[in-house]
Chains A and B, each alone.
Chain A
């Protein structure tokens, strides 16, 4: 009660210190919301590759000059069959064959699209966490019989058939070949990773065909890349080792192999996120610190201004703890009000940033809770020194103060 009346008495000062805390807490909230939101998006994007996915391909820049001369990718169709039995950490594999050079042009009724053509196996969609929105996945029969069928990305579909046409069972021309569309891939967003420079490959411009058909058309027997899925995230390294060991053995150590997984990307993403959060947190801490200084200054002035009042209260029998409690109460009220306003402001700012950037950022309630605790702690800590000084004043000295 005492605390409230004196805060009301000094409105401007109270408002200023509340603003200090408000800005600090809002900053903490924004940092928390943004980094949590970005985190969520990056993980969602990483998941579009499949977090358990491993890519295996030949190491081309070989240190051994004799091996560099050797032709071929070091992976062939026979390798695929032997993998099923002897790699316990691998759930499934798919071959991926693709052109090294620029994208391939496809057409349909006078319209063109430059696509990323990939010859794939039966588990490709599952391993890549791809889904078909309409149509179906490849069947064993499609692969074995080299059927001229294709599953296409949404951008390819839009460019060749327009947004409002169902592309199923329509025909795409690729040179002399007529490919029948059997499915359309679900749209996948990799905006953040693309912006971070992680990937310049457009997943939505893929045209997937049976790898057997691809090999036939290009007259090759090689498989460029083997894509595999480990049985769990922590078995990725085991799975990669099992596969490369098998390949080396089968090809008499004629080739060296490289294995890649999302692990490196996850670490990179976490590094970036950590840096973003750290910078944000430093900025937020600075503003909270300034807010705390504001409270300290305001409480300090308040103590000086009310020295006489402290003397009166002591003369009337106030204990030190009564004076301490009164001033701490003021600091607490200021910081709680500032904290609540900061939370509201932070939530609004979070929504605005989400709205403006087009990303849906959830409110980080854990950050809100931490911010609230921090604001109360900052308030009490900043109020303590002036309050302590006030409580220590000798009544006779305080009363003499003009």
Chain B
């Protein structure tokens, strides 16, 4: 499903270039639940951003469903993010001034789905995460765990192949964290591929496979 081959990535920081990823190669199969772990500054977030097509590698190759995305332009990457990927972030990243349902509808707005279908699918997605009765609450009126469940509903509403989760439990208490992980397990059972960055061993246990990143390199454990 995902194939990274000899990927390099560096950033300009002040006067010096910092190598963030150094010759990373990695494969993730369809239906896998993978946790990426590593200390802060190890490059795990950059790796996830590249996997999520939010960032591009300097060199190497990235095959997504067997096709290279290295030469893809902005709009082609946007299409991949819209149709094939779903994002869950540490800080939820809901748009504050619109209610839960309209947040969930956003990926469908950009996919050009009509209003009626959007409505039905948004409500269905909220039902999956157990928030159908909170559809018209704005994010500020929801708890952290509820906000993250809205974000998951938003991530799955366009029925993507892969869910990209960046520290999804980083801002949550342990009860909510476990609820979120249970939803992830259900999604995996339903056939989704999940790639998650975390630094918590507790959370990483929900994954089938752990990839350790340290100093820009992958250390297989």
Residues of A within 8 A of B (CB): 5-6, 8-9, 308-309, 311-320, 322, 394-396, 399
Q: Considering the complex, give the chain A residue whose CB is closest to the CB of B157.
A: A316
Q: List 10 A-B contacts (CB under 8 A).
A: A6-B97, A311-B93, A312-B94, A312-B95, A315-B81, A316-B106, A316-B110, A316-B154, A319-B75, A320-B78
Q: Give the residue of B93, B95, B107, B110 whose beta carbon is less than 8 angstroms from that of A399.
A: B93
B83 touches A317 (CB 8 A): yes
B97 touches A5 (CB 8 A): yes
Q: Does B25 contact A (CB under 8 A)?
A: no
Which residues of A are found within 8 Å of B26, using beta-carbon distances?
none
Which residues of A are found within 8 Å of B107, using beta-carbon distances?
316-317
Q: Quick one: given A315-B54, A315-B81, A396-B54, are A320 and B74 in contact (CB under 8 Å)? A: yes
A396 to B52, CA, bound (A): 10
Q: Considering the complex, give the chain B residue whose CB is closest to the CB of A6.
A: B97
Which residues of B are found within 8 Å of A318, using beta-carbon distances?
78, 110
A399 to B79, CA, bound (A): 18
Q: Give the residue of B55, B111, B158 whose beta carbon is less than 8 angstroms from that of A396.
A: B55
A395 touches B54 (CB 8 A): yes
A317 touches B97 (CB 8 A): no
Which residues of A are found within 8 Å of B82, using beta-carbon distances?
316-317
Q: Quick one: given A314-B78, A317-B82, are A394 and B55 in contact (CB under 8 Å)? A: yes
Which residues of B are found within 8 Å of A316, using beta-carbon distances?
81-82, 87, 106-107, 110, 154
Q: Considering the complex, give the chain B residue whose CB is closest to the CB of A5.
A: B97
Q: Considering the complex, give the chain A residue whose CB is closest to the CB of B166.
A: A399
Q: Quick one: given A319-B78, A394-B55, are A313 and B106 in contact (CB under 8 Å)? A: yes
Q: Does B49 contact A (CB under 8 A)?
A: yes
A234 to B19, CA, bound (A): 83
A317 touches B74 (CB 8 A): no
Q: Does B98 contact A (CB under 8 A)?
A: yes
Which residues of A are found within 8 Å of B49, using beta-carbon distances?
396
Most buried by B among A315, A319, A394, A395: A315
A312 to B150, CA, bound (A): 14
Further 16 A-B residue pairs, CB within 8 A, beyond A317-B82, A318-B78, A319-B74: A5-B97, A6-B97, A312-B93, A313-B110, A315-B87, A316-B81, A316-B87, A316-B110, A317-B79, A317-B83, A318-B110, A319-B110, A320-B75, A395-B55, A399-B54, A399-B93
Q: Quick one: given A317-B82, A317-B110, are A9 and B75 in contact (CB under 8 Å)? A: no
